[in-house]
Amino acid sequence: MTTIIPLTQRVAWQALEAHYVKVQELHLRQLFADDPTRGERMTIEAIGIYFDYSKHRITDETLTLLLQLAAESGLRSRIDAMFRGDKINVTEKRAVLHIALRAPKGQTIVVDGEDVVPGVHAVLDKMADCSTQVRSGEWKGYTGKRIRNIVNIGIGGSDLGPVMAYEALRHYSQRDLTFRFISNIDGTDFIEATRDLDAEETLFIIASKTFTTLETMTNAHTARDWLLKTLKHPDAVARHFVAVSTNVEAVAQFGIDTANMFEFWDWVGGRYSMDSAIGLSTMIAIGSEAFRAMLDGFHQMDEHFRTAPFHRNLPVLMGLLVLWYNNFFDVQTMAVLPYEHYLKRLSAYLQQLTMESNGKHVTQDGTEVVYQTGPIYWGEPGTNGQHSFYQLIHQGTKLIPCDFIGFTQPLNPLGHHHDLLLANMFAQAEALAFGKTPQEVQAESIPAWLVPHQTFEGNRPSSTILLERLTPAALGKLVALYEHSVFTQGAIWDIDSFDQWGVELGKALAARIIPELETEDKNRLKHDSSTNTLIRHYRKARF
Ligand code: F6P
């Protein structure tokens, strides 16, 4: 058995610590002045993605050391282990095989002695059948009307992926169908999503890996009551409900015909499931061919990640850059700023992907980490964010590396809107990197007292990720890029990026509090004095 050297004791880590001291004050202005080719040199073009990482506070030596750290951390063997189907989700003893969801027919990936790829394609075919029936109007509701509304009920990975993908690919969606997404246990979500829908024309997709999640099951039962209020007969449920789950028994118990259940597997994590049957709403929206094109985009990125040398490997470089800021500059947050309105839910999606994956405080063997793990991800589409929080990124006291994401071709050409959009994206990255010196401000005859206010320090790093057009395949590539960047970070931090124990305590406490809100028994409350008082206060207000 090989002994793993703890991260902070690895040669490359220690070299990076020393290197950081040397380069921390280096300014991007200087780096660009010293090397006029930097903006061309520090770019990679692969599988239709142009990645510019020149505006990062790195030198060639930084990159060499980061790559050395990846090597010393066994990143290569971790990647191979994932692709082989090893049980790398150690705390749940599961394989991590979202890459199998987009494996082409004929590829073999074995889990517990069984090739999982044929099963993946069988489910895709079944999804295609369902989506074609809904899209063509062949799928009729209980009273014989065609389905016009698709409502996905799910939460977390069973919601964020479907919503994000629907919004991202809305351009390609069948416009005579209405899509709604219900996730929150707050009744408002259900009421607002269904208030103008005709039950006779509505199909609910109950999306839940476990089929036990409180929010989803509560909303699913409410949906059934809502439907039966109009359609009256329990047989209607079979025509208006389908399920996506790994839990056949619970689906049957709910009353959904298991012929209308779309299966996936315990080796697909919730936040890695938008390309599994959880994407049924996406497939109904864009059709099975476009969905398969999206899978092909994912697969292209998988292959790039698996085979490209690390110094030309997009997710590896992206992950290493996150680590550089997170662990050496003590950066706390990363902004994702798509200059593409259709990607308005991308950062919400990435929050679960990145933060549920890498928000961990112990290594795989349970040892407390002595370094920072996953940063906070957030963001909004440009240019909207420019008129809200960019002020802080430009002139605040915090260092926030940014990912700018743009497309050279608009999906909706309109006058010169697209040129204006991209001009803004390029301008923001330029302004962040190079800023504006006091001398430059003074040269504009600005009064001396205003100069500090109008000075931009610059040296604020960003990546620019450019693709040609937001197609289903492009979306697949982008999402897989972040998935594998998260993998790269987690592998080096030696954490389990695929469990999520941190959500359990709150769930258990809520289960204990629910009956306490609904009874008058004062003696039952055995929480801390704050929680007890809040519960009493609530009960008094409600009853
Ligand atoms: O509570 C967190 C979580 O388990 C996520 O990881 C998951 O995506 C979400 O809940 C929904 O779970 P399910 O699909 O089982 O309803």
Q: What is the pLDDT of residues 446-478, one digit of tens each?
A: 999 999 999 999 999 999 999 999 999 999 999
What's the pLDDT score for residue 3?
A: 63
What's the pLDDT score for residue 523?
A: 72
Buried b vs exposed e over 447-471: b needs ≥16 C-beta within 10 Å? Answer: eeeebeeebbebbbbbbbbbbeebb
Q: Is the CB of 155 under 6 A from ligand 1?
A: yes
Q: Are the C-beta atoms of 223 and 190 separated by less than 8 Å?
A: yes
Q: Is the CB of 213 under 6 A from ligand 1?
A: yes
Question: For ligand 1, what atom is nearest to the CA of residue 245?
Answer: 14
Instruction: Give me 268's structure tokens.
Output: 């697909």
Residue 232 has pLDDT above 80, yes or no: yes
Interior angle at CA 156, CA 89 and CA 151, nearest 5: 135
Mutate-to-test residue for ligand 1 from 160, 206, 209, 497, highest number of ligand atoms within 8 A of CB: 209
Which residue owns the Cα nearest ligand 1 atom 5?
156
Confidence label for 522 from pLDDT (cuts 50, 70 and 90): low
Ligand 1 center–CA 350 separation, angstroms = 15
Residue 108 has pLDDT above 60, yes or no: yes
As a whole number of angstroms, the distance between CA 156 and CA 349 comes to 9
One-character DSSP codes across 309-348: -GGG-HHHHHHHHHHHHHHHS---EEEEEES-GGGTTHHH
As a whole number of angstroms, the distance between CA 250 and CA 269 comes to 19
What's the pLDDT score for residue 206?
A: 98
What's the pLDDT score for residue 1?
A: 47
Residue 144 has pLDDT above 80, yes or no: yes
Residue 4 has pLDDT above 80, yes or no: no
Residue type for 105, please?
K
Q: Is the CB of 270 under 6 A from ligand 1?
A: yes
Residue 355 has pLDDT above 80, yes or no: yes
Mean pLDDT of 2-8: 82
pLDDT for 279-328, tens place per residue? 999 999 999 999 999 999 999 999 999 999 999 999 999 999 999 999 99
Q: Is the CB of 374 under 6 A from ligand 1?
A: no
Ligand 1 center–CA 474 separation, angstroms = 26
Taken in order 504, 182, 186, 255, is the CA torsion positive or negative?
negative
Which residue owns the Cα nearest ligand 1 atom 16?
208
pLDDT for 390-405, tens place per residue? 999 999 999 999 999 9
What's the pLDDT score for residue 543?
A: 81
Torsion of Cα atoms, 273 then 316 then 425 then 55, to 10°: 160
Round the CA-based radius of gyration of the chain to a whole number and report it: 25
Cα 451 versus chain centre, distance: 41
Residue 20 has pLDDT above 90, yes or no: yes
Mean pLDDT of 329-355: 98
Ligand 1 center–CA 262 separation, angstroms = 17
Confidence label for 341 from pLDDT (cuts 50, 70 and 90): very high
Q: How many residues does the chain have?
A: 543
Q: Is the CB of 224 under 6 A from ligand 1?
A: no
Mean of all residue pLDDT scores within the chain: 97
Q: Is the peptide bond before 437 cis (omega within 30 degrees of 0)?
A: no
Contacts of 177 (CB under 8 A, 6+ apart): 134, 135, 147, 148, 149, 150, 284, 285
As a whole number of angstroms, the distance between CA 418 and CA 20 comes to 39
Find the farthest-apart pair of alpha carbons in the chain and give their distance in angstroms, rounded. Answer: 78
Q: What is the DSSP pairing of strand 110-111 with strand 376-378?
A: unpaired
Q: Is the CB of 273 under 6 A from ligand 1?
A: no
Residue 329 has pLDDT above 50, yes or no: yes
Residue among 267, 270, 241 nearest 159 (CA) = 270
Catalytic machinery residues: 356, 387, 507
